[in-house]
Amino acid sequence: MPKVLVPLAAGFEEMEAVIVVDVLRRAGITVVTASLTDHQTVTGSHDIPLVADTTLDAVAEDHFDAVILPGGLPGATNLRDDARVARLVQRTAEQDGWVAAICAAPLALATFGVLRGKRFTSHPSVREQLQAAEGEYSEQRVVVDGRTVTSRSPGTAFEFALKLVAHLVDEATAQRLSQAMLVSPSVH
């Protein structure tokens, strides 16, 4: 099964982190949540604390098949400004792994150079900041270009997660989860 990293920075969007982690784990994917600080408890943008599995320093040298960045502000900018996150995302992309970001987190992918030449999306509120990404902006709810997946908002978190399951495991597993969770079949 694939091994996925979800780094958690203070101010992350809780729904985008929890829904994605939950759906991927239901698919049998090993998901590691990692705090950017020495404290495993990270507080999201709506003051909901989440206990990460570990710290980023503890897994910085591990291999991951995918790195998935939840959005939220200032969580997305905290991810963007962290050199360790940049190294992990760039290394994963260079090793033909998957990189994904939702909501405002494509800001980090743009800064790390991952969106260059790709189609991508984001929350509309950060679209202007992504003009320098050197890619093609889309208003689709979830965009897959190569091994890069982007999505728009907490409202697209299930679609985003199921699309990741379809690529990391298979379409049948994504379909099964969609049906079990009563998520519209058109979502993935």
Query: So which residues are the catalytic ones?
Result: 103
Contact (CB, 8 A) for 143 and 121:
yes
Closest CA to 46 of 79, 18, 83, 87: 18
Please spell the DSSP secondary structure of 143-168, one letter per residue.
EEETTEEEE-SGGGHHHHHHHHHHHH
Cβ proximity of 71 and 19 under 8 Å: no
73: phi > 0 → left, psi -120 to 50 → alpha, else beta; which?
A: beta
Around 153, how many Cα atoms within 13 Å sit in the side-chain half-sphere?
Answer: 9
